Structure 1
């Protein structure tokens, strides 16, 4: 059962595609994600976000909001409601931009962890529940779906979102420990969660607007 779950996760995970993208600067960024480029002097402005977001066909859950024509605010929400929702920023006019041009948003990372813990407390994610049943006892990693490790292996620290203690096949949410090395954007793309965690995160982000 767990093997089938891992196989399904592996099959559905999506890395950024370079074949079809609606916006040329985004295509350039995706093509060069793995290139170690110097970080540009990007001025982040938390206002004047456009209402019409750009999208990437390979990640329909991701939206790019233009900020004053200078940068893209990367978000899981189609409309913009506040800077806390932003996963990070990209230069809007940077041909040849690469991974190091991505500016992560620490506040989003905080919300991500808070949302994940709430989802585990409410038992909203089948994948994490099944993983705990398989493990029975010990520490279990919550991996980013963008780069799942082979079965029985530990993933890259950049792709381990957090760890939780499992006892008698059940997750103990109060033991949730964020992985300090986790990155919201790597050469494999931006954050990609399992279905239950993703739904809870979107709900959490929308609740920040009220």
Structure 2
């Protein structure tokens, strides 16, 4: 059954947002500098994301979150940093700390404060995951694995359709927050044209509404791609 009511769509008469928009995320190099300088202090978590992260950063084994059972936190060690938690959609540990399957990292302990809980401000995005996520979504649209977006194209008929993150859907007829627009794709004659897929540069893998949350069909496609990638990484 098509679940159009679960996702809202917005028609655009212009091309997707300019690639000049900057993505608001830390680089791994920035994370190294912050951790080594002991410069980052985090306030008591108040957002859903901070609360989600904070509950599980004292464990030595991978743990899933009851509110997001698709998320797992794996203890790993990064060069020059030491213990961090790798956030992943896979329950198996990543074969390497910077595996493509890792959304990003959280420090096992907030720099300079042993009793301070890590939160959203500590999350460091993994650029490898962003790349593989876009590849999986584009191929998923090409293979028509998700009825939500097929139905969205039928409703739109013509124009640019935003692929929204389900963690924060926009109001009907509105354009979503740039942080939550994963990509845009052209629809013609009610059909998605996968080759027109354009990633949104300002999209964030993690916001105050939580980490990436895809619709079911695209999420399943991403899982298959991640599992294949991890198998190749482990074989190297």
Normalised by the length of structure 1, the TM-score is 0.78
- Whether 1:55 and 2:71 are equivalent positions in the alignment is no
CA distance change for structure 1 residues 124 and 96 in 2, over 3 Å: closer, same or farther?
A: same
Unaligned 5+ segments in structure 1 are 8-14, 27-49
> What is the aligned counterpart of 2:216 among 185, 188, 195?
195
Secondary structure at 1:127 match in 2:
helix
| CA distance in 2 between partners of 1:190 and 1:19 (Å) | 10
The answer for the alignment partner of 1:155 in structure 2 is 176
The answer for the alignment partner of 2:103 in structure 1 is 87
The answer for the alignment partner of 1:5 in structure 2 is 6
Q: Computing the radius of gyration over CA atoms, which structure comes out larger, 1 or 2?
A: 2
- Whether 1:134 and 2:155 are equivalent positions in the alignment is yes
The answer for the alignment partner of 1:120 in structure 2 is 141
CA RMSD of aligned residues (A): 2.4
Please identify runs of 4+ aligned residues in structure 1 that moved more than 3 A. Answer: 15-22
Contact 1:6–1:151 at 8 Å: present in 2 too? no
Shift of 1:5: 3.2
Contact 2:165–2:212 at 8 Å: present in 1 too? yes
Kindly provide the CA deviation profile for residues 109-145 of structure 1, in whole angstroms up to 9, marking residues without a partner as x. Answer: 0000000011001000011111101100000000001
Unaligned 5+ segments in structure 2 are 9-47, 111-115
